[in-house]
Amino acid sequence: MIELIPAIDIIDGKCVRLTKGDYGSKTVYDLNPLDFAKEIEALGYRRLHMVDLDGARSSHVVNMEVLSEVATHTSLQIDFGGGIKTDADLEAVFDNGAAYATIGSVAAKEPELMDRWIARYGADRLILGADVKGGFVCVSGWKEKSRKRLMPFLQSYYAKGIRQVLCTDISKDGMLQGTAVELYKEIMRQLPDLQLIASGGVSCEKDIAQLDSAGIPAVVFGKAIYEGRIDLRRLKIED
């Protein structure tokens, strides 16, 4: 059964969502991150995806206090991403309670640093962030398209021991028009043991069921919750 991972995206300490990664299109929700985290924990969810959008477009983690607060007051396993650019950033993220760190820009632009982090922390604590547009990996808060094609990028880190990959089709993100299920199926065809986390475009329970039927291990979703399209109480959580 697919693992369900609710998401919080943070700007200025508040829950927001973007459309296709466009910061100019942000929607700010009247939702306190800690209150949301406590709510999903009470419903039986065990994991939370948290993205520091301020950090993603800057050179360092910005919303560390939000991470620390949620980690301190819940027992959720938090995977945290956005702005992790240096040794100090990553160490602070783990020190402030994250169970996993999602690394995208560094993995694409500074593979030697990523290799060092794998050696130091273990591949099981690092999630490879693979945000894709037109078949190429995008970095720096999706503002910059790299020259790295998606599958060779995934395969290179799979060979280094990375098994968790968070893959977002940017064209789907925030659109509430369905997921890139064919893309995810192709990834799983080539890397069947990958713990792939689908992200972007989830609009309803049917989208999640489609991913589950396709054998996708996990899914991250946020906007559909905030917009009232998915009721977390109705979803069946894997025991």
Q: Are strands 195-199 and 136-139 parallel, antiparallel or unpaired?
A: unpaired
Alpha-carbon distance of 71 to 84, in angstroms, equals: 18
Count the Cβ atoms, other than its own, within 10 Å of residue 11: 22
- Output the six-digit token pair for 20: 């296709």
Comparing C-alpha atoms, which of 164, 46, 33, 26 is closest to residue 104?
A: 164
The pLDDT of residue 100 is: 98
Mind listing the pLDDT tens digit of every residue in the chain (239 residues)?
Answer: 999 999 998 988 877 756 555 555 566 676 789 999 999 999 999 999 999 988 877 778 988 999 999 999 999 999 999 999 999 999 999 999 999 999 998 999 999 999 999 999 999 999 999 989 888 898 865 566 667 899 999 999 999 999 999 999 887 655 566 889 999 999 999 999 999 999 988 999 999 999 999 999 999 998 889 888 999 998 866 54
What percent of the residues of the chain are helix, what percent strand, and what percent coil, each to the nearest 5?
35, 30, 35
Domain ranges of the chain: 3-226
- Output the six-digit token pair for 59: 């050179």
Quote the DSSP letter at residue 123. Answer: G
**SS3 for 83?**
coil
Alpha-carbon distance of 140 to 132, in angstroms, equals: 12
Q: Which residues pair with 150 in a beta bridge?
A: none
CATH topology for the 3-226 domain: TIM Barrel (3.20.20)
Q: Which residues pair with 149 in a beta bridge?
A: 136
Comparing C-alpha atoms, which of 61, 74, 1, 3 is closest to residue 32?
A: 74
Catalytic residues: 9, 131
Quote the DSSP letter at residue 124. Answer: G
Q: Are 110 and 84 in contact (CB under 8 A)?
A: no
Alpha-carbon distance of 149 to 180, in angstroms, equals: 17
Read off the amino acid at residue 48: L
Alpha-carbon distance of 30 to 3, in angstroms, equals: 27
